Structure 1
Amino acid sequence: MFEAELVCWINSSEVLLLREDDRTLLTRCPANAIDLGHVVGSGPVNVTLADGWLFQTDDHDITILLNESGLSRNLRSWEALRPRLVSVVLTTIVCTWLLWKYGLGILVSIAIALTPPPVINAMDYSAMQTLDRLLADETELSDKQQDKAQGIFLDLVRELPADQRDGFELHFRKFPEEFGPNAFALPGGTVVLTDALVNEFAKDDDAIAGVLGHEIGHKVEAHGMRQIYRSLSVYFLIALIAGDTGPLLEEFLLEGQLLLQLSFSRDHERAADDFGLTLMSKAGYDPEGLKRFFAALEKYDGDSDWYSTHPLSKDRVDSIENFIESGEYR
């Protein structure tokens, strides 16, 4: 790399590249054979000559002499660091936030409505295959225990409107001890009870009904699909703005999205609690059972709920008490 001078004249058809110290002619080529590349804001201008010489300069007036296109010149002007650029960036940030806050909910609802049931069922099947391969073992519950829970499950499903009953299946799995008494619902209606939950509440049908009603609520309200589509929407929105996210930004997005989604997950959990209370009451079960379930789970709560997608059990017990006292489930 050395100092050089690019000599050109307005309306000239030829450009000369001279060595700065001794004015030696390094190369010459037609002006229309020069490649300016893309000039970014106030960054350097890279001029590639026809025979491979690369001339770099901070003088942007050279782009005028070399007949830079009007579109490229306007784009470079907008990219320069000026108050105008700052206002454009701030406007973009505000519009992005408004779209994420208010627009994504509408788009997610549309996406859910347009998702074919076979696709959702395939998601359930794939999730169960993964769980069985990595975490879960075959249930050790007796046929009597399974039949009893299945009966409670069918009681609840029968109370749903006819157009909401399709797709529900109840499965049992044994999970590692650290999972404790647990249950979850997949987007297509597959509900899983752990052996630990059935064993711990073997004599409390109302508690099991409350848990199952809660999980049924997740499916009916499409909470799982909403979480999936919202997460994908946020990721693609940031990728659209930032371009290729790269591994570091991808890791940041995954961690950041967990925090962004906490409020939605907790809202979904509270909504599923209310749904379960109403459904189990209609099916003839005592809503106090769900309160007993969460009271028993308090020992599994950590010291902080910051990283939890679920509200703390003690807070849920309080919310259920208020819900029962209000009589809203009747």
Structure 2
Amino acid sequence: MKTTGRLYHAHSNTFIYCELSLSDECVVFSNDEGLHERLPKPRLVLGMAIKGQAQDITLPDGRRFLCDDKTFRLNQHSTSSFIERSEQHKGLVIGAIFFCPLLLYWLFFIAIPHVAASSAGHLPQSVIETIGQQSMTLIEKAALEPTQLDEQKVANAERIWLELINQLQLNEQKYRLGFYQSEFFGANAFALPHGQIVVTDDLILKLADYDDAFRAVLLHEIGHVEHRHSVKIAAQTAGTTVALAIVFGDLQGIVDLALGVGTAIMQQQFSQGMERQADDYALSNLLKLGYKPEHFATALEIISQGTDDDSQSWSKYLSTHPHVKSRIEKARTYKHP
């Protein structure tokens, strides 16, 4: 077996033309200029055989041989040859076309969320605190302004908040309440992984005459923290970012991981199951503390006034997962399990 090609010097683009021939278990490189080099085949490093490309053959000293015949293969019965034959197998190609999307779906919609949910319960508090603080810094810069509420409304909201924290016997150092003006969020409240609860001025103003409804909203947000929903979203975002970087070869995306996690929390849209868990937490604790579950229904109704339920509102309370009307109905008919 013989073929001609180019023999490149090690770490260089310069080359000489030569002939490659097989003799027993050795490979001979020769040309008319006096080159005659005999090497055992096992000492050569053979590149993967890819259809339409010349096989790369590397010599022990780093020189590389590329043959002119792109169909020439020094390892006809190797794994590379199997890969090349597989690329030409129509059945395998069609199977890959259907299998790859299914694999990606399983990875991003089943495996990563499952791992994220499992890992969220094992993250140290110091890590959760860091995620929460970084996310809060991003959200403050992007969408929040100092509160414009008067002292009386802030004092009343803080009174309700502290009553809840004491009644639920929660850690005052972990759970903190913040007031902000935000055109971006509108009448809204959201919870960060480390226990920071943010309420907007518009929400306070809408619920100014409904203390019990405001209390129900706070309980809903505390429920998100207690069930670590934001932590799960952060873990899922981090896992997805790493997986995408590996699958598509963009490892630089991992550098932006912290920013991506913060953005995900800022734009958090909790799943149907997460919303139901937070709703149940609020409703059960309203009953436990001597309040009526209907107060949560009142809060949903007031917040949703003048808002198209099908619009892309940032308010989680108007999320269609589940539909706000079903959440109101559930709150009005709720009985402790």
- Give the TM-score normalised by structure 2: 0.71
Paired position in structure 2 for 1:135: 143
Task: Give the Å deviation of 1:31.
Answer: 4.7
- Taking the aligned partners of 2:64 and 2:173, their CA distance within structure 1 comes to 65
- Taking the aligned partners of 1:295 and 1:225, their CA distance within structure 2 comes to 28
Task: Give the Å deviation of 1:165.
Answer: 4.8
Task: Give the Å deviation of 1:218.
Answer: 0.6
Alignment of 1:37-52 (within 5 A): 37-40=47-50, 42-47=51-56
Paired position in structure 2 for 1:226: 232
Q: Which amino acid aligns with 1:124?
A: G
Paired position in structure 1 for 2:75: 63
- Taking the aligned partners of 1:191 and 1:305, their CA distance within structure 2 comes to 24
C-alpha distance 201-309 of structure 1, shift in aligned 2 (>3 A): closer
Paired position in structure 2 for 1:114: 122
C-alpha distance 63-217 of structure 1, shift in aligned 2 (>3 A): same
Matched, 1:124 2:132: yes
Q: Which amino acid aligns with 1:276?
A: A
- Taking the aligned partners of 2:243 and 2:236, their CA distance within structure 1 comes to 10
Matched, 1:318 2:325: yes
Tell me the secondary structure at the aligned position of residue 274 of structure 1: helix
User: Does the CA-based 8 Å contact 1:34-1:48 persist in structure 2?
Assistant: yes
Paired position in structure 2 for 1:20: none
Task: Give the Å deviation of 1:205.
Answer: 0.2
C-alpha distance 286-130 of structure 1, shift in aligned 2 (>3 A): same
Tell me the secondary structure at the aligned position of residue 190 of structure 2: strand
Matched, 1:172 2:178: yes
- Taking the aligned partners of 1:270 and 1:87, their CA distance within structure 2 comes to 39
Structure 1 unmatched runs, 5+: 18-23
Matched, 1:8 2:21: yes
- Taking the aligned partners of 2:252 and 2:87, their CA distance within structure 1 comes to 23
- Taking the aligned partners of 1:180 and 1:34, their CA distance within structure 2 comes to 68
Task: Give the Å deviation of 1:305.
Answer: 4.8
Matched, 1:211 2:224: no
C-alpha distance 242-317 of structure 1, shift in aligned 2 (>3 A): closer
C-alpha distance 207-188 of structure 1, shift in aligned 2 (>3 A): same
Name segments (4+ residues, structure 1) moved above 6 Å.
2-5, 24-27, 306-309
Describe the superposition over 1:264-320 as per-residue Cα deviations: whole angstroms up to 9, x where unpaired. 534423432332222233333343333233323335645745797847469754223
C-alpha distance 282-148 of structure 1, shift in aligned 2 (>3 A): farther
Aligned CA RMSD, in angstroms, stands at 4.1
Q: Which amino acid aligns with 2:152?
A: K
- Taking the aligned partners of 2:333 and 2:147, their CA distance within structure 1 comes to 39
Paired position in structure 1 for 2:152: 144
Tell me the secondary structure at the aligned position of residue 224 of structure 1: helix
- Taking the aligned partners of 1:100 and 1:34, their CA distance within structure 2 comes to 41
Task: Give the Å deviation of 1:208.
Answer: 0.9
C-alpha distance 130-98 of structure 1, shift in aligned 2 (>3 A): closer
User: Does the CA-based 8 Å contact 2:233-2:268 persist in structure 1?
Assistant: no
Tell me the secondary structure at the aligned position of residue 179 of structure 2: strand
- Out of 271-280 and 313-322, give the one that drifted further: 313-322
Tell me the secondary structure at the aligned position of residue 171 of structure 1: strand
For this pair of structures, how many residues does the alignment match?
307
Task: Give the Å deviation of 1:224.
Answer: 0.4
- Out of 133-142 and 261-270, give the one that drifted further: 261-270
- Out of 302-311 and 197-206, give the one that drifted further: 302-311
Q: Which amino acid aligns with 2:235?
A: Y
C-alpha distance 274-176 of structure 1, shift in aligned 2 (>3 A): same
Tell me the secondary structure at the aligned position of residue 8 of structure 1: strand
Structure 2 unmatched runs, 5+: 7-16
User: Does the CA-based 8 Å contact 2:48-2:80 persist in structure 1?
Assistant: yes
Paired position in structure 1 for 2:335: 328
- Taking the aligned partners of 2:95 and 2:136, their CA distance within structure 1 comes to 49
- Give the TM-score normalised by structure 1: 0.72
- Taking the aligned partners of 2:268 and 2:49, their CA distance within structure 1 comes to 42
Q: Which amino acid aligns with 1:320?
A: R
Alignment of 1:259-274 (within 5 A): 265-274=271-280
Describe the superposition over 1:10-52 as per-residue Cα deviations: whole angstroms up to 9, x where unpaired. 42441346xxxxxx77966445576543323x34223457666
- Taking the aligned partners of 2:159 and 2:236, their CA distance within structure 1 comes to 35
User: Does the CA-based 8 Å contact 2:133-2:194 persist in structure 1?
Assistant: no
User: Does the CA-based 8 Å contact 2:244-2:250 persist in structure 1?
Assistant: no
- Taking the aligned partners of 1:263 and 1:127, their CA distance within structure 2 comes to 15
- Taking the aligned partners of 1:288 and 1:79, their CA distance within structure 2 comes to 63
Task: Give the Å deviation of 1:123.
Answer: 2.0
Tell me the secondary structure at the aligned position of residue 202 of structure 1: coil
C-alpha distance 136-289 of structure 1, shift in aligned 2 (>3 A): same
Tell me the secondary structure at the aligned position of residue 59 of structure 1: coil
- Taking the aligned partners of 2:34 and 2:98, their CA distance within structure 1 comes to 46
- Out of 176-185 and 294-303, give the one that drifted further: 294-303
